[in-house]
């Protein structure tokens, strides 16, 4: 017998010890699993809000945050029994800081859900981080087509629109109005480029022609040279995508340049939504297409508008609706899995099967997780984006490149 080998008795003792510690380990692991599952179902729900608090889109960020919080407040501060706890990051609408910013929420704060953001370039970085980490992401505005296209994922949802959608709807409207030659003008980044692309797809399909595509870098507002070029080109009309503070200045500069009277200005509805106080008479009469309007007058919309105005002493806009609906979609998914976010497939199936009772009107969610919704034709009358018709019924983004 070699001295290094244990005796039979020693072997038995080792086997017993191993058996006991294995059982202890198993029991400990089971207890831990139970407590994790319990925490998953009943612990606080950590929600990371990544929105712009500064810059040209700051007011959009506020409206989204207010909308989301209104929904949570109406649920008594809890979703599926889990108390909501907020973590916040100002993304400044700056794509170069986006990966660092989203990782503050994912890695530092260890959030369960991220809600954000406004800017398409920032949202792309967020979608990548969400895809890589598996963190649940609700996009309450940014329209980047890729988020519900090639970047689509079971844990990524959008409560707003794809950039293609309002562009396409406005293209349909402008073709029907009989315009033949149009100039487009926008910021040179994903939202501007993709809005124009959607617009062109619909407008050119009906025989219209885009004679010039003008742009300037985001978030620049030095429009003068481009307005001079529009005046010289004399198109039948102009299609534009601008939003937030930049849209306020564009509408004012367009009128000041004397173009409002001669060349009709159209745009996706972000041009005037939430901006009418600041744009004043310069916005009067402008036609836009969007998935929300101020005068829908449905019971659902009235209840939403009253609750929002009472809570925040502000009038709601499309961004507030999108924030609220991000909350509703999260609520639908989380209730379906009784608060257990590890049940990702069931969560997604519930959201995909839902009819979401929104202030904008009922909408559904496509297989790529983007809203399928009506687009309204609106016209500015006083301080309201009034509905004057339907631009496009149940418009679905084509979801090009999404494989799930
Ligand atoms: C975007 O960057 O996707 C974006 C920003 C503001 C809007 C709409 C889209 O109003």
CB of 240 sitting under 6 A from ligand 1: no
User: CA 223 to CA 41: how far, in whole Å?
Assistant: 52
Rounded distance, CA 196 to CA 188, Å?
A: 10
DSSP states along 241-253: E--HHHHHHHHHH
Q: Burial of 171 by CB count in 10 Å (0-12 exposed, 13-18 middle, 19+ buried)?
A: buried
Task: State which ligand 1 atom lies nearest to the alpha carbon of 144.
Answer: 3
Tracing tokens 């562009």 back to the chain, one arrives at 167
**DSSP per-residue letters across 250-276:** HHHHHHHTT-TTTS-EEEEGGGTTTTH
pLDDT in tens, 60-107: 999 999 999 999 999 999 999 999 999 999 999 999 999 999 999 999
Ligand 1 centroid from CA 228, angstroms: 26
Q: What is the pLDDT of residues 330-388, one digit of tens each?
A: 999 999 999 999 999 999 999 999 999 999 999 999 999 999 999 999 999 999 999 99
For 99-194, strand residue ranges (E) read 113-115, 136-139, 156-158, 181-187
Tell me the HSE value of 34 on the side-chain side, using a 13 A CA sphere.
6
Regions of the chain where pLDDT drops below 70:
1-40
Does the pTM surpass 0.85? The reply is yes
Give the CA distances from residue 156 to residues 123, 212, 226, in Å, rounded to whole numbers and listed in that order.
Answer: 11, 35, 37
pLDDT for 49 equals: 99
- Which residue has a Cα nearest atom 6 of ligand 1? 243
Taking the centre of ligand 1 as the mean of its atom positions, its distance from the CA of residue 302, in whole angstroms, is: 25
The answer, yes or no, to whether any atom of ligand 1 lies below 6 A from the CB of 292, is no
Distance 142 CA to ligand 1 centre (A): 5
52 ligand 1 Cβ < 6 A:
no
* Tokens encoding 238: 């102009």
Provide the token pair at 392: 């496009």
Distance between CA atoms of residues 328 and 70, nearest Å: 10
Does 164 sit in the ligand 1 pocket, CB within 6 Å?
Answer: no
- For ligand 1, whether the C-beta of 143 sits within 6 Å is yes
Q: Please name the residue that has the structure tokens 């929105």.
A: 51
Q: Which of 126, 243, 245 to mutate to test the pocket of ligand 1 (most atoms within 8 A of CB)?
A: 243
């Amino acid at each position: 017998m070699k001295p290094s080998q244990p005796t039979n008795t020693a072997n038995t003792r080792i086997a017993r010890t191993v058996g006991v510690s294995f059982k202890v380990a198993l029991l400990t692991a089971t207890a831990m699993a139970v407590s994790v599952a319990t925490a998953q179902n009943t612990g606080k729900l950590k929600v990371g809000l990544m929105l712009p608090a500064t810059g040209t889109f700051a007011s959009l960020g506020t409206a989204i945050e207010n909308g989301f919080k209104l929904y949570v407040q109406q649920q008594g501060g809890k979703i599926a029994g889990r108390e909501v706890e907020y973590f916040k990051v100002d993304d400044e609408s700056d794509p170069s800081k986006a990966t660092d910013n989203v990782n503050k929420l994912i890695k530092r704060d260890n959030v369960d859900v991220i809600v954000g953001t406004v800017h398409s370039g920032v949202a792309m970085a967020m979608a990548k981080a969400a895809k890589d980490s598996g963190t649940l992401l609700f996009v309450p505005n940014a329209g980047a087509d890729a988020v519900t296209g090639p970047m689509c994922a079971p844990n990524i949802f959008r409560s707003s629109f794809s950039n293609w959608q309002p562009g396409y709807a406005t293209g349909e409207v402008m073709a029907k109005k009989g315009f033949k030659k149009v100039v487009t003008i926008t910021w040179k980044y994903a939202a501007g480029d993709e809005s124009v692309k959607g617009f062109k797809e619909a407008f050119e399909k009906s025989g219209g022609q885009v004679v010039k595509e003008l742009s300037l870098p985001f978030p620049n507002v030095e429009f003068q040279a481009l307005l001079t070029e529009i005046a010289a080109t004399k198109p039948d009309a102009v299609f534009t995508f601008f939003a937030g503070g930049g849209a306020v200045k564009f509408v004012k500069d367009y009128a000041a340049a004397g173009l409002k009277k001669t060349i009709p200005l159209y745009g996706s509805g972000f041009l005037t939504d939430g901006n009418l106080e600041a744009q004043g008479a310069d916005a009067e009469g402008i036609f836009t297409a969007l998935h929300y309007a101020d005068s829908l007058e449905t019971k659902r919309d009235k209840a939403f508008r009253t609750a929002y105005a009472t809570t925040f002493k502000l009038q709601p806009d499309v961004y507030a609706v999108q924030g609220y609906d991000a909350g509703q979609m999260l609520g639908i998914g989380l209730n379906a899995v009784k608060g257990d976010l590890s049940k990702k497939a069931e969560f997604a199936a519930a959201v995909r099967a839902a009819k979401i009772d929104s202030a904008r009107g009922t909408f559904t969610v496509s297989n790529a997780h983007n809203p399928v919704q009506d687009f309204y034709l609106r016209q500015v009358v006083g301080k309201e984006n009034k509905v004057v018709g339907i631009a496009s019924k149940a418009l679905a983004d084509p979801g090009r490149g999404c494989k799930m």
